C-alpha cells in the first residue's frame, strides 16, 4: 500500500527503501580485533578505562598547577635569601595541601574531576589566587586576592570545591608570609585570614547567587578577615599601630574582589562553557527563541516539557543533584521535535496519526531523528555544553519498543528484524541530571498514556517504568552515578509530583440547572 505522505514530508524525511540493507559485520584484518569481536569482559574494561581517562588528565593538570605554585614560592624565598631547609619544608607543605584537595575532588566531587573543562577552570582560579602573592604581599600582607578565586569557584564550579580550595592557597600564603620580614604573628594571621575570609565568602554567596549578593559576600569576607586578623595579632601581643594598615588592605581588597567577580563571571562562563545559575535562569525566560517556537509550533511538546521539568527539578532536589540544570534541560529536551511536530502524538490534531500510514521503519526513523535534531538546534543556539550533553543523552541507546514490536508483527514468518534500526544512536546517561531527565520523560509519557488513572495506577506505573530502566539486563542507568537509595527517592518524588498534577476535584453541577443571579 502506498504511504499517504505529503511532498513536504518526503523532502524532510526521505523514505527508507528496502534496498538500504543494514551494514554487515566486517571481519578483523591485519590482526586487529574488530569491535564486534571483543568479549563482554574486554568491552567492560575498555569502558572503565575510558571513564577514568578524564580524571587522570585532571589530576595531571592539578599536579602542574601545584608545581607552578611551588616554583614561584621557592624562587621568591630564594630571592630573599631563605635557607634551603625552609624552602624544602614550604614546598612539601604546599604539595600536601594540593594533594588533599585533589584527593577530595576524586573521592567526593567526581563531576568536577571528570570534566577537563571544569578542572581547567579550577586550576586557573587557583593559579590566579596563589601566583600574585609574592607581589601583593610585598605591597602589604593584607592584600588578599584569593577572595576573587573563592567567589568565582563558588559561582561557576561548586561551593564545596571552593571551600576546600582555601587549603592549598592558605598554605601558600603562609609560606610566602614566613619568608618576609614582618611582625610576629603575621604568618598565622595571613593563613587564618585566607581560610576564614574564603569560607565566609562561599557561605554568604551560597544563600543567594546574584550580582548584588556577590559584592555583599566580598564585603562580608573582608569584615570576617579583619576580625580574625585583629584577633590573631592581638593574641600575639602586637600593638594596633603595627597592623592597622593591614586591616584596611584586607577589607578593601575583599570588596574589590567582589566587584571584579561580577564583571569577570560572564567572561569565565564563555571561556570555560560553564552553566552558572545566572546563565541557566536566563535560558528559562519564555522569550527565548526556542521556547517561543515550542509554544507556537509544538504546544503539546511544550506542555509535556513543563511537566517533565517539574518532575526532574523536584527529584534533583531530593538527591542533591543540580535542580536548576535539570529544569533547564527538561524545558529544552524535546526541541528536536520542532523539525516535524506532527510526527509526535502530543502535537497531532483531529485524531489523525500520520504513523498509521507509515511502515514502522520510517516511523522509527522520524521519531529517533528528534534526538540528533535537538542537539543540533541547541548547539546553533550556543547553549551550555552540559545542557547539550544531557539533552543528547535523555533517551540513551534505548529501543523504540512500540515500533520494534510493530515491525516484528508485520515481518514475514522467519524474518529477523534488525533491532539497531529502532535504537537511539546515543550513549547512556552519564550524570545524575541526565538520568533524572530520562526517568522523568519516560514516566510522564507512560502516565499520560493511561486512561483515567487514579493515584494507585500512577504509582504502579512510575515504579514499573523506573524498575524497567534500572533492573533490565542492559540497564540505561549503569553509567550514571545514581545509587539504589537515589532511585528510591526519585520514585517517591515523582509520585508526590504526579499527585499534585492529578489530584481529585469536586464535580461541578450543571450551571444551566442552577438559578444564578
Q: Give the domain-ending residue among 229, 254, 274.
A: 274
How far apart CA 77 and CA 87 sit, in angstroms, is: 7
pLDDT digits (tens, 9 = 90+) for 388-427: 999 999 998 888 888 888 888 888 887 888 888 889 988 8
Question: Residue 504 has what pLDDT?
Answer: 62
Residues 256 and 339 reside in one and the same domain: no
CB of 147 closer than 8 Å to CB of 253? yes
Task: Kindly state the DSSP code that residue 428 receives in the 8-state scheme.
Answer: P
Question: Residue 46 has what pLDDT?
Answer: 52
Question: Residue 5 has what pLDDT?
Answer: 46
Q: Is residue 43 part of a domain?
A: no
Task: Kindly state the DSSP code that residue 51 receives in the 8-state scheme.
Answer: H
Please classify residue 83 by burial: count the beta carbons closer than 10 Å to its beta carbon, then call 0-12 exposed, 13-18 middle and 19+ buried. exposed
Reference 261, options 204, 190, 189, 193; nearest CA is 204
Residues 155 and 301 reside in one and the same domain: no
Q: What is the pTM of this model?
A: 0.80
CA 401 to chain centre: 29
Q: Give the domain-ending residue among 274, 304, 338.
A: 274
Contacts of 101 (CB under 8 A, 6+ apart): 62, 164, 165, 167, 168
The length of the chain in residues reads 517
Q: Is residue 288 part of a domain?
A: yes
Q: Is residue 284 part of a domain?
A: yes
Reference 275, options 394, 437, 117, 427; nearest CA is 117
Q: Give the domain-ending residue among 219, 250, 274.
A: 274
Residues 261 and 363 reside in one and the same domain: no
Residues 446 and 467 reside in one and the same domain: yes
Cα atoms in the Cβ-side hemisphere of radius 13 Å centred on 163: 12
Question: Residue 92 has what pLDDT?
Answer: 95
Cα atoms in the Cβ-side hemisphere of radius 13 Å centred on 397: 11
Residue 6 CB neighbour total at 10 angstroms: 10
CB of 218 closer than 8 Å to CB of 202? no
CB of 429 closer than 8 Å to CB of 480? yes
Q: DSSP secondary structure string, 316-383?
A: HHHHTS-HHHHHHHHHHTTGGGGG-GGGSGGG--TT--GGGGS-HHHHHHHHHHHHHHHHHHHHHTT-
Q: Cell 532511585 appears where? A: 487
How far apart CA 13 and CA 438 sit, in angstroms, is: 26
Contacts of 5 (CB under 8 A, 6+ apart): 15, 354, 357, 358
Residue 48 CB neighbour total at 10 angstroms: 9
Q: Is residue 509 part of a domain?
A: no
Q: Is residue 411 part of a domain?
A: yes
Residues 147 and 232 reside in one and the same domain: yes
Question: In 236-353, which residue ranges form alpha helices assigned H by DSSP?
Answer: 244-272, 277-283, 289-297, 299-319, 323-332
Residues 264 and 351 reside in one and the same domain: no
Domain that holds residue 96: 50-274
Residues 243 and 371 reside in one and the same domain: no
Long-range CB contacts (within 8 A, 24+) of 101-109: 101/62, 101/164, 101/165, 101/167, 101/168, 102/59, 102/62, 102/63, 104/164, 105/58, 105/62, 105/161, 106/55, 106/59, 108/160, 109/158, 109/160, 109/161
Q: Is residue 154 part of a domain?
A: yes
Positions in the chain whose pLDDT score sits under 70: 1-52, 350-351, 472-474, 503-517
pLDDT digits (tens, 9 = 90+) for 61-84: 999 999 999 999 999 998 888 888
Residues 373 and 308 reside in one and the same domain: yes
Q: Cell 607543605 appears where? A: 93
Residues 232 and 347 reside in one and the same domain: no
Q: Is residue 224 part of a domain?
A: yes
Pick left, alpha or beta for residue 376 (phi over 0 → left; psi -120 to 50 → alpha; otherwise beta): alpha
Residues 222 and 301 reside in one and the same domain: no
Contacts of 404 (CB under 8 A, 6+ apart): 360, 364, 417, 419, 422
Domain holding 487: CATH number?
Answer: 1.10.3210
> How many domains does the structure of the chain reveal?
2
Question: Residue 463 has what pLDDT?
Answer: 93
Residues 113 and 55 reside in one and the same domain: yes
Residues 258 and 282 reside in one and the same domain: no
Q: Is residue 292 part of a domain?
A: yes
Amino acid at each position: 500500500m502506498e504511504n499517504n505522505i505529503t511532498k513536504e514530508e518526503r523532502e524532510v524525511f526521505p523514505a527508507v527503501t528496502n534496498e538500504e540493507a543494514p551494514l554487515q559485520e566486517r571481519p578483523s584484518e591485519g590482526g586487529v580485533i574488530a569491535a564486534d569481536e571483543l568479549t563482554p569482559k574486554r568491552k567492560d574494561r575498555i569502558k572503565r578505562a575510558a571513564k577514568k581517562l578524564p580524571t587522570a588528565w585532571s589530576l595531571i593538570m592539578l599536579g602542574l598547577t601545584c608545581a607552578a605554585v611551588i616554583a614561584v614560592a621557592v624562587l621568591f624565598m630564594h630571592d630573599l635569601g631563605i635557607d634551603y631547609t625552609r624552602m624544602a619544608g614550604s614546598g612539601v607543605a604546599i604539595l600536601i595541601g594540593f594533594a588533599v584537595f585533589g584527593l577530595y575532588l576524586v573521592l567526593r566531587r567526581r563531576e568536577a574531576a571528570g570534566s577537563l573543562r571544569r578542572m581547567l577552570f579550577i586550576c586557573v582560579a587557583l593559579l590566579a589566587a596563589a601566583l600574585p602573592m609574592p607581589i601583593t604581599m610585598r605591597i602589604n600582607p593584607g592584600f588578599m586576592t584569593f577572595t576573587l578565586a573563592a567567589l568565582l569557584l563558588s559561582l561557576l564550579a561548586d561551593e564545596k570545591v571552593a571551600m576546600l580550595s582555601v587549603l592549598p592557597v592558605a598554605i601558600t600564603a603562609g609560606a610566602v608570609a614566613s619568608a618576609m620580614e614582618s611582625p610576629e604573628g603575621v604568618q598565622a594571621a595571613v593563613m587564618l585570614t585566607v581560610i576564614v575570609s574564603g569560607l565566609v565568602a562561599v557561605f554568604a554567596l551560597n544563600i543567594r547567587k546574584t550580582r548584588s549578593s556577590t559584592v555583599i559576600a566580598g564585603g562580608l569576607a573582608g569584615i570576617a578577615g579583619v576580625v580574625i586578623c585583629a584577633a590573631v595579632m592581638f593574641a600575639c601581643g602586637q600593638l594596633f599601630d603595627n597592623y592597622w594598615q593591614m586591616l584596611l588592605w584586607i577589607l578593601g581588597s575583599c570588596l574589590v574582589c567582589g566587584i571584579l567577580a561580577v564583571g569577570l563571571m560572564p567572561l569565565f562562563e564563555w571561556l570555560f562553557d560553564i552553566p552558572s545559575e545566572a546563565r541557566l535562569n536566563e535560558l528559562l525566560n519564555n522569550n527565548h527563541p526556542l521556547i517561543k517556537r515550542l509554544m507556537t509550533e509544538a504546544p503539546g511538546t511544550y506542555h509535556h516539557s513543563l511537566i517533565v521539568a517539574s518532575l526532574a527539578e523536584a527529584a534533583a532536589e531530593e538527591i542533591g543533584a543540580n535542580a536548576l540544570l535539570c529544569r533547564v534541560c527538561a524545558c529544552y529536551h524535546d526541541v528536536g521535535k520542532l523539525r516535524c511536530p506532527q510526527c509526535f502524538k502530543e502535537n497531532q490534531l483531529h485524531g489523525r496519526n500520520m504513523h498509521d500510514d507509515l511502515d514502522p521503519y520510517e516511523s522509527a526513523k522520524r521519531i529517533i531523528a528528534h534526538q540528533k535534531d535537538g542537539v543540533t538546534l541547541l548547539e546553533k543556539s550556543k547553549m551550555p555544553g552540559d545542557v547539550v550533553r544531557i539533552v543528547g543523552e535523555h533517551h540513551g541507546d534505548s529501543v523504540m519498543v512500540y515500533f520494534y514490536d510493530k515491525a516484528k508483527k508485520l515481518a514475514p514468518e522467519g524474518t529477523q528484524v534488525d533491532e539497531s534500526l529502532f535504537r537511539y544512536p546515543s550513549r547512556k546517561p552519564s550524570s545524575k541530571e541526565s538520568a533524572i531527565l530520562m526517568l522523568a520523560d519516560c514516566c510522564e509519557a507512560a502516565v499520560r498514556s493511561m486512561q483515567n488513572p487514579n493515584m494507585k495506577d500512577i504509582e504502579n506505573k512510575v515504579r514499573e517504568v523506573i524498575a524497567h530502566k534500572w533492573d533490565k539486563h542492559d540497564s540505561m542507568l549503569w553509567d550514571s552515578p545514581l545509587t539504589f537509595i537515589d532511585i528510591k527517592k526519585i520514585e517517591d518524588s515523582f509520585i508526590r509530583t504526579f499527585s499534585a498534577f492529578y489530584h481529585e476535584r469536586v464535580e461541578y453541577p450543571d450551571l444551566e440547572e442552577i438559578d444564578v443571579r
